[in-house]
Structure 1
Amino acid sequence: MRYQIIPVTSFQQNCSLLWCERSRKCAIVDPGGEIGKIIAAIESQELIPERILITHGHIDHAGGAAALAKALGVVIEGPHQEDRFWLENMPQQAEIFGFPQVETFTPERWLEQGDRVTVGDEQLEVIHTPGHTPGHLTFYHAPSKLALVGDVIFQGSIGRTDFPRSDYATLIRSIRERLWPLGDDCRFVPGHGPESTFGEERLHNPFLRD
Protein backbone atom coordinates (compact mmCIF):
# COMPACT_ATOMS: atom_id res chain seq x y z
CA MET A 1 0.00 0.00 0.00
CA ARG A 2 1.31 3.42 -0.95
CA TYR A 3 -0.06 6.82 -0.06
CA GLN A 4 0.20 10.52 -0.81
CA ILE A 5 -0.98 13.39 1.36
CA ILE A 6 -2.70 16.30 -0.40
CA PRO A 7 -3.36 19.30 1.88
CA VAL A 8 -6.59 20.99 0.77
CA THR A 9 -8.60 24.13 1.60
CA SER A 10 -7.65 27.01 3.88
CA PHE A 11 -7.79 24.50 6.77
CA GLN A 12 -4.83 22.61 5.22
CA GLN A 13 -6.66 19.35 5.80
CA ASN A 14 -4.72 16.20 4.90
CA CYS A 15 -6.68 14.50 2.14
CA SER A 16 -4.92 11.21 1.43
CA LEU A 17 -4.65 8.97 -1.61
CA LEU A 18 -4.16 5.29 -0.76
CA TRP A 19 -3.40 2.84 -3.52
CA CYS A 20 -2.70 -0.79 -4.23
CA GLU A 21 0.58 -1.04 -6.10
CA ARG A 22 -0.44 -4.08 -8.14
CA SER A 23 -3.84 -2.92 -9.39
CA ARG A 24 -3.23 0.88 -9.18
CA LYS A 25 -6.71 1.21 -7.68
CA CYS A 26 -7.01 3.97 -5.11
CA ALA A 27 -9.18 5.32 -2.33
CA ILE A 28 -9.47 9.03 -1.57
CA VAL A 29 -9.70 9.65 2.17
CA ASP A 30 -11.34 12.86 3.40
CA PRO A 31 -11.60 15.05 0.28
CA GLY A 32 -12.46 18.28 2.06
CA GLY A 33 -12.37 20.46 -1.06
CA GLU A 34 -10.22 21.58 -4.00
CA ILE A 35 -11.28 18.54 -5.97
CA GLY A 36 -9.33 19.67 -9.04
CA LYS A 37 -6.13 19.38 -7.01
CA ILE A 38 -7.12 15.87 -5.89
CA ILE A 39 -7.99 14.74 -9.42
CA ALA A 40 -4.66 16.11 -10.69
CA ALA A 41 -2.82 14.01 -8.09
CA ILE A 42 -4.75 10.89 -9.10
CA GLU A 43 -3.89 11.47 -12.75
CA SER A 44 -0.26 12.23 -11.97
CA GLN A 45 0.11 8.86 -10.21
CA GLU A 46 -1.87 7.11 -13.00
CA LEU A 47 -4.32 5.66 -10.49
CA ILE A 48 -7.79 4.17 -10.90
CA PRO A 49 -10.26 5.72 -8.43
CA GLU A 50 -12.26 3.05 -6.60
CA ARG A 51 -13.96 4.73 -3.62
CA ILE A 52 -14.02 7.73 -1.29
CA LEU A 53 -13.62 7.13 2.45
CA ILE A 54 -14.73 9.60 5.13
CA THR A 55 -13.41 9.63 8.70
CA HIS A 56 -16.02 12.07 10.03
CA GLY A 57 -18.62 14.57 8.96
CA HIS A 58 -16.88 17.92 9.41
CA ILE A 59 -16.81 20.04 6.29
CA ASP A 60 -13.03 20.29 6.02
CA HIS A 61 -12.96 16.49 5.71
CA ALA A 62 -16.13 15.79 3.73
CA GLY A 63 -17.00 19.02 1.93
CA GLY A 64 -15.71 17.90 -1.48
CA ALA A 65 -16.92 14.30 -1.29
CA ALA A 66 -20.22 14.62 -3.18
CA ALA A 67 -18.72 16.59 -6.06
CA LEU A 68 -15.68 14.32 -6.29
CA ALA A 69 -17.82 11.17 -6.25
CA LYS A 70 -19.81 12.53 -9.20
CA ALA A 71 -16.67 13.58 -11.08
CA LEU A 72 -14.97 10.20 -10.64
CA GLY A 73 -18.03 7.93 -10.70
CA VAL A 74 -17.16 6.27 -7.38
CA VAL A 75 -19.01 5.47 -4.16
CA ILE A 76 -18.60 7.12 -0.76
CA GLU A 77 -18.17 4.94 2.32
CA GLY A 78 -18.15 6.19 5.92
CA PRO A 79 -18.35 7.72 8.35
CA HIS A 80 -20.23 5.88 11.11
CA GLN A 81 -23.95 6.66 11.08
CA GLU A 82 -23.62 8.61 14.36
CA ASP A 83 -22.21 11.42 12.20
CA ARG A 84 -25.32 11.58 10.02
CA PHE A 85 -26.33 14.93 11.56
CA TRP A 86 -23.00 16.46 10.54
CA LEU A 87 -23.48 15.40 6.91
CA GLU A 88 -27.05 16.70 6.88
CA ASN A 89 -25.80 20.08 8.15
CA MET A 90 -23.03 20.39 5.56
CA PRO A 91 -24.49 23.56 3.93
CA GLN A 92 -24.71 25.26 7.33
CA GLN A 93 -21.13 24.24 8.09
CA ALA A 94 -20.03 25.79 4.80
CA GLU A 95 -21.66 29.07 5.70
CA ILE A 96 -20.21 29.14 9.22
CA PHE A 97 -16.64 28.35 8.17
CA GLY A 98 -16.56 30.33 4.93
CA PHE A 99 -16.43 27.37 2.54
CA PRO A 100 -17.95 27.47 -0.95
CA GLN A 101 -21.46 26.07 -1.23
CA VAL A 102 -21.33 22.27 -0.98
CA GLU A 103 -23.67 19.34 -1.52
CA THR A 104 -24.74 17.07 1.28
CA PHE A 105 -24.69 13.32 0.69
CA THR A 106 -25.61 9.97 2.13
CA PRO A 107 -22.77 7.45 1.85
CA GLU A 108 -23.24 4.22 -0.06
CA ARG A 109 -22.31 2.47 3.17
CA TRP A 110 -22.17 3.64 6.77
CA LEU A 111 -19.19 1.95 8.40
CA GLU A 112 -18.89 0.39 11.85
CA GLN A 113 -16.25 -1.01 14.16
CA GLY A 114 -14.80 -4.18 12.64
CA ASP A 115 -15.86 -3.49 9.04
CA ARG A 116 -13.32 -3.75 6.24
CA VAL A 117 -12.98 -1.77 3.04
CA THR A 118 -10.99 -2.77 -0.02
CA VAL A 119 -8.50 -0.76 -2.04
CA GLY A 120 -7.63 -2.92 -5.00
CA ASP A 121 -6.11 -6.09 -3.50
CA GLU A 122 -5.54 -4.43 -0.12
CA GLN A 123 -7.85 -4.18 2.88
CA LEU A 124 -8.32 -1.50 5.51
CA GLU A 125 -9.71 -2.20 8.96
CA VAL A 126 -12.38 0.19 10.21
CA ILE A 127 -11.97 1.34 13.81
CA HIS A 128 -14.70 3.42 15.45
CA THR A 129 -12.90 6.20 17.35
CA PRO A 130 -15.55 8.59 18.73
CA GLY A 131 -14.87 11.68 20.81
CA HIS A 132 -14.07 14.44 18.32
CA THR A 133 -17.37 13.48 16.69
CA PRO A 134 -19.61 10.57 17.72
CA GLY A 135 -19.22 8.77 14.39
CA HIS A 136 -15.51 9.30 13.81
CA LEU A 137 -13.59 6.45 12.16
CA THR A 138 -9.95 5.46 11.77
CA PHE A 139 -8.77 3.44 8.75
CA TYR A 140 -5.90 1.03 9.43
CA HIS A 141 -3.72 -0.94 7.01
CA ALA A 142 -2.13 -3.65 9.13
CA PRO A 143 0.61 -4.84 6.70
CA SER A 144 1.95 -1.28 6.44
CA LYS A 145 1.32 -0.40 10.11
CA LEU A 146 -0.37 2.77 8.83
CA ALA A 147 -3.43 4.46 10.35
CA LEU A 148 -5.43 7.37 8.96
CA VAL A 149 -6.83 8.92 12.11
CA GLY A 150 -8.69 12.03 10.96
CA ASP A 151 -8.93 14.49 13.85
CA VAL A 152 -8.56 12.03 16.74
CA ILE A 153 -4.86 12.65 17.40
CA PHE A 154 -2.18 14.96 16.01
CA GLN A 155 1.53 15.34 16.50
CA GLY A 156 1.63 16.89 19.95
CA SER A 157 -2.12 17.37 20.33
CA ILE A 158 -5.58 15.78 20.14
CA GLY A 159 -8.86 16.59 18.42
CA ARG A 160 -11.15 19.33 19.65
CA THR A 161 -14.05 18.36 21.88
CA ASP A 162 -16.03 21.61 21.94
CA PHE A 163 -18.37 20.64 19.09
CA PRO A 164 -21.93 19.28 19.44
CA ARG A 165 -21.77 15.68 20.75
CA SER A 166 -17.99 15.80 21.17
CA ASP A 167 -16.64 14.39 24.42
CA TYR A 168 -13.14 14.62 25.87
CA ALA A 169 -13.28 11.45 27.98
CA THR A 170 -14.60 9.46 25.03
CA LEU A 171 -11.80 10.78 22.80
CA ILE A 172 -9.08 9.80 25.27
CA ARG A 173 -10.65 6.37 25.68
CA SER A 174 -10.72 5.90 21.88
CA ILE A 175 -7.01 6.69 21.69
CA ARG A 176 -5.95 4.52 24.61
CA GLU A 177 -8.23 1.54 23.95
CA ARG A 178 -8.42 1.46 20.15
CA LEU A 179 -5.30 3.17 18.79
CA TRP A 180 -2.54 2.33 21.29
CA PRO A 181 -3.08 -1.44 20.78
CA LEU A 182 -2.01 -0.98 17.14
CA GLY A 183 1.55 -0.59 18.45
CA ASP A 184 4.11 2.11 19.16
CA ASP A 185 5.60 1.60 15.69
CA CYS A 186 2.31 2.36 13.95
CA ARG A 187 2.59 5.49 11.79
CA PHE A 188 -0.42 7.74 11.50
CA VAL A 189 -1.60 10.41 9.10
CA PRO A 190 -3.62 13.00 11.04
CA GLY A 191 -6.27 15.27 9.60
CA HIS A 192 -3.93 18.25 9.87
CA GLY A 193 -0.20 18.68 10.27
CA PRO A 194 2.72 16.24 10.12
CA GLU A 195 2.70 12.48 10.51
CA SER A 196 3.88 10.79 13.69
CA THR A 197 3.85 7.41 15.44
CA PHE A 198 1.81 6.29 18.40
CA GLY A 199 5.03 5.59 20.28
CA GLU A 200 6.19 9.17 19.84
CA GLU A 201 2.87 10.51 21.05
CA ARG A 202 2.85 8.24 24.10
CA LEU A 203 6.21 9.74 25.04
CA HIS A 204 5.79 13.38 24.08
CA ASN A 205 2.13 14.34 23.57
CA PRO A 206 1.18 16.44 26.63
CA PHE A 207 -2.42 15.17 26.50
CA LEU A 208 -1.44 11.51 26.35
CA ARG A 209 1.89 10.83 28.06
CA ASP A 210 1.79 7.59 30.03
Structure 2
Amino acid sequence: MLALTFSTGMIDAVGYLGLDRVFTGNMTGNVVILGMGLAGAEDLPVLGPALALIGFLVGAAFGGRVLKGAAKGWSRRTTVLLVLVGVVIMGLSVAIFLDPEPTRPVALTLSTLLGTAMGVQAATARLIGVKDVTTVVITSTLTGLAADSVLGGGTGADSGRRSAAVLLILAGAGTGAALLTWHLGAGLLAAALITLLVAAVGARSPRTD
Protein backbone atom coordinates (compact mmCIF):
# COMPACT_ATOMS: atom_id res chain seq x y z
CA MET A 1 0.00 0.00 0.00
CA LEU A 2 2.93 2.33 0.60
CA ALA A 3 4.19 1.52 -2.90
CA LEU A 4 0.77 2.42 -4.30
CA THR A 5 0.89 5.67 -2.34
CA PHE A 6 4.15 6.50 -4.11
CA SER A 7 2.63 5.70 -7.51
CA THR A 8 -0.41 7.87 -6.71
CA GLY A 9 1.93 10.81 -6.24
CA MET A 10 3.33 10.21 -9.73
CA ILE A 11 -0.14 9.88 -11.26
CA ASP A 12 -1.35 13.10 -9.65
CA ALA A 13 1.76 14.92 -10.89
CA VAL A 14 0.93 13.80 -14.43
CA GLY A 15 -2.70 14.82 -14.05
CA TYR A 16 -2.04 18.21 -12.50
CA LEU A 17 1.01 19.27 -14.49
CA GLY A 18 0.32 17.49 -17.77
CA LEU A 19 -3.46 17.18 -18.06
CA ASP A 20 -4.80 20.66 -17.32
CA ARG A 21 -4.49 20.76 -13.51
CA VAL A 22 -6.62 17.73 -12.75
CA PHE A 23 -6.01 15.53 -9.73
CA THR A 24 -6.90 11.93 -10.52
CA GLY A 25 -6.13 10.40 -7.13
CA ASN A 26 -6.49 13.20 -4.60
CA MET A 27 -10.16 14.03 -4.82
CA THR A 28 -9.93 16.61 -2.03
CA GLY A 29 -7.74 18.72 -4.29
CA ASN A 30 -10.10 18.15 -7.19
CA VAL A 31 -13.14 19.25 -5.22
CA VAL A 32 -11.33 22.39 -4.05
CA ILE A 33 -10.23 23.26 -7.60
CA LEU A 34 -13.74 22.57 -8.87
CA GLY A 35 -15.28 24.82 -6.22
CA MET A 36 -12.92 27.69 -7.01
CA GLY A 37 -13.42 27.19 -10.73
CA LEU A 38 -17.21 27.27 -10.37
CA ALA A 39 -16.86 30.49 -8.38
CA GLY A 40 -15.13 32.06 -11.37
CA ALA A 41 -11.51 31.95 -10.24
CA GLU A 42 -9.30 32.87 -13.15
CA ASP A 43 -7.79 30.07 -15.26
CA LEU A 44 -9.02 27.21 -13.07
CA PRO A 45 -10.57 24.24 -14.87
CA VAL A 46 -14.08 22.99 -14.14
CA LEU A 47 -14.83 20.24 -16.64
CA GLY A 48 -11.65 18.23 -16.05
CA PRO A 49 -11.93 18.02 -12.25
CA ALA A 50 -15.67 17.30 -12.51
CA LEU A 51 -15.14 14.42 -14.93
CA ALA A 52 -12.25 13.00 -12.90
CA LEU A 53 -14.41 13.16 -9.77
CA ILE A 54 -17.25 11.34 -11.52
CA GLY A 55 -14.80 8.76 -12.86
CA PHE A 56 -13.37 8.22 -9.38
CA LEU A 57 -16.83 7.63 -7.92
CA VAL A 58 -17.69 5.19 -10.70
CA GLY A 59 -14.43 3.32 -10.13
CA ALA A 60 -14.92 3.21 -6.37
CA ALA A 61 -18.49 1.97 -6.80
CA PHE A 62 -17.29 -0.73 -9.20
CA GLY A 63 -14.58 -1.78 -6.76
CA GLY A 64 -17.06 -1.86 -3.91
CA ARG A 65 -19.43 -4.03 -5.94
CA VAL A 66 -16.70 -6.51 -6.87
CA LEU A 67 -15.44 -6.68 -3.28
CA LYS A 68 -18.89 -6.93 -1.68
CA GLY A 69 -18.85 -9.65 0.96
CA ALA A 70 -15.08 -10.12 0.83
CA ALA A 71 -13.23 -10.35 4.14
CA LYS A 72 -10.71 -7.71 5.13
CA GLY A 73 -7.22 -8.31 3.82
CA TRP A 74 -5.75 -9.54 0.56
CA SER A 75 -7.82 -11.83 -1.65
CA ARG A 76 -8.03 -13.03 -5.22
CA ARG A 77 -10.46 -10.24 -5.91
CA THR A 78 -8.10 -7.55 -4.66
CA THR A 79 -5.38 -9.02 -6.88
CA VAL A 80 -7.66 -8.95 -9.92
CA LEU A 81 -8.73 -5.36 -9.26
CA LEU A 82 -5.16 -4.11 -8.85
CA VAL A 83 -4.11 -5.92 -12.01
CA LEU A 84 -7.01 -4.17 -13.76
CA VAL A 85 -5.83 -0.80 -12.40
CA GLY A 86 -2.29 -1.49 -13.58
CA VAL A 87 -3.43 -2.54 -17.04
CA VAL A 88 -5.62 0.55 -17.44
CA ILE A 89 -2.79 2.87 -16.39
CA MET A 90 -0.40 1.02 -18.70
CA GLY A 91 -2.84 1.40 -21.60
CA LEU A 92 -3.18 5.13 -20.93
CA SER A 93 0.60 5.53 -20.81
CA VAL A 94 0.88 3.80 -24.19
CA ALA A 95 -1.78 6.12 -25.59
CA ILE A 96 0.22 9.13 -24.41
CA PHE A 97 3.46 7.78 -25.85
CA LEU A 98 1.66 7.44 -29.18
CA ASP A 99 0.19 10.94 -28.86
CA PRO A 100 2.50 13.00 -26.61
CA GLU A 101 0.55 16.22 -27.16
CA PRO A 102 -3.09 15.18 -26.70
CA THR A 103 -5.89 17.53 -27.63
CA ARG A 104 -8.16 18.80 -24.86
CA PRO A 105 -10.87 16.15 -25.49
CA VAL A 106 -8.25 13.40 -25.40
CA ALA A 107 -6.68 14.87 -22.23
CA LEU A 108 -10.11 14.97 -20.57
CA THR A 109 -10.70 11.35 -21.51
CA LEU A 110 -7.30 10.35 -20.12
CA SER A 111 -7.83 12.15 -16.80
CA THR A 112 -11.33 10.72 -16.45
CA LEU A 113 -10.11 7.17 -17.01
CA LEU A 114 -7.23 7.74 -14.61
CA GLY A 115 -9.73 8.95 -12.02
CA THR A 116 -11.78 5.80 -12.57
CA ALA A 117 -8.72 3.59 -12.11
CA MET A 118 -7.77 5.42 -8.93
CA GLY A 119 -11.29 4.97 -7.60
CA VAL A 120 -10.94 1.22 -8.06
CA GLN A 121 -7.55 1.35 -6.31
CA ALA A 122 -8.95 3.35 -3.39
CA ALA A 123 -11.83 0.92 -2.90
CA THR A 124 -9.39 -1.99 -2.98
CA ALA A 125 -7.01 -0.35 -0.49
CA ARG A 126 -9.97 0.35 1.77
CA LEU A 127 -10.81 -3.34 1.95
CA ILE A 128 -7.20 -4.42 2.42
CA GLY A 129 -7.30 -2.10 5.40
CA VAL A 130 -3.76 -0.97 6.17
CA LYS A 131 -4.37 1.66 8.85
CA ASP A 132 -3.76 5.26 7.70
CA VAL A 133 -2.64 4.17 4.21
CA THR A 134 -5.50 4.79 1.79
CA THR A 135 -3.02 5.25 -1.12
CA VAL A 136 -4.88 8.33 -2.42
CA VAL A 137 -5.12 10.84 0.44
CA ILE A 138 -2.88 11.83 3.35
CA THR A 139 -4.89 14.49 5.24
CA SER A 140 -6.25 11.93 7.70
CA THR A 141 -2.78 10.38 7.92
CA LEU A 142 -1.26 13.74 8.83
CA THR A 143 -4.00 14.29 11.40
CA GLY A 144 -3.29 10.95 13.07
CA LEU A 145 0.45 11.56 12.93
CA ALA A 146 0.14 14.88 14.76
CA ALA A 147 -2.73 14.05 17.12
CA ASP A 148 -1.20 10.78 18.29
CA SER A 149 2.32 12.18 18.60
CA VAL A 150 4.01 12.90 21.91
CA LEU A 151 3.34 16.61 21.35
CA GLY A 152 -0.32 15.76 20.82
CA GLY A 153 -0.49 13.85 24.07
CA GLY A 154 -0.17 10.42 22.49
CA THR A 155 2.50 7.77 22.34
CA GLY A 156 3.56 8.24 18.75
CA ALA A 157 2.22 4.82 17.80
CA ASP A 158 2.14 4.11 14.05
CA SER A 159 4.19 7.25 13.38
CA GLY A 160 6.62 5.31 11.18
CA ARG A 161 3.97 4.06 8.79
CA ARG A 162 2.18 7.41 8.74
CA SER A 163 5.40 9.32 8.08
CA ALA A 164 6.31 6.86 5.32
CA ALA A 165 2.95 7.41 3.60
CA VAL A 166 3.41 11.20 3.66
CA LEU A 167 7.00 11.05 2.45
CA LEU A 168 6.23 8.53 -0.28
CA ILE A 169 3.38 10.49 -1.84
CA LEU A 170 5.66 13.54 -1.70
CA ALA A 171 8.47 11.59 -3.35
CA GLY A 172 6.07 10.17 -5.92
CA ALA A 173 4.85 13.63 -6.88
CA GLY A 174 8.42 14.83 -7.22
CA THR A 175 9.37 11.80 -9.30
CA GLY A 176 6.32 12.25 -11.51
CA ALA A 177 7.17 15.90 -12.07
CA ALA A 178 10.76 15.01 -12.94
CA LEU A 179 9.66 12.31 -15.39
CA LEU A 180 7.42 14.85 -17.12
CA THR A 181 10.54 16.63 -18.32
CA TRP A 182 11.28 13.50 -20.33
CA HIS A 183 7.81 12.45 -21.48
CA LEU A 184 4.20 12.92 -20.35
CA GLY A 185 3.62 9.17 -20.36
CA ALA A 186 6.72 8.22 -18.36
CA GLY A 187 5.15 8.75 -14.94
CA LEU A 188 2.12 6.69 -15.87
CA LEU A 189 4.30 3.89 -17.21
CA ALA A 190 6.27 3.77 -13.97
CA ALA A 191 3.06 3.88 -11.90
CA ALA A 192 1.57 1.04 -13.94
CA LEU A 193 4.64 -1.13 -13.40
CA ILE A 194 4.56 -0.45 -9.65
CA THR A 195 0.86 -1.34 -9.47
CA LEU A 196 1.34 -4.59 -11.35
CA LEU A 197 4.33 -5.47 -9.16
CA VAL A 198 2.25 -4.83 -6.03
CA ALA A 199 -0.49 -7.09 -7.43
CA ALA A 200 2.05 -9.81 -8.17
CA VAL A 201 3.57 -9.64 -4.67
CA GLY A 202 0.14 -9.55 -3.07
CA ALA A 203 -0.99 -12.56 -5.04
CA ARG A 204 1.78 -14.58 -3.38
CA SER A 205 0.78 -13.50 0.13
CA PRO A 206 -1.71 -15.31 2.40
CA ARG A 207 -5.24 -14.68 1.09
CA THR A 208 -8.57 -14.39 2.83
CA ASP A 209 -10.55 -16.09 0.03
TM over 0.5: no
Instruction: Kindly indicate which of the two structures has a greater share of residues assigned to helix.
Output: 2
- How does the TM-score come out when normalised to structure 1? 0.27
- How does the TM-score come out when normalised to structure 2? 0.27
Instruction: Kindly indicate which of the two structures has a greater share of residues assigned to strand.
Output: 1
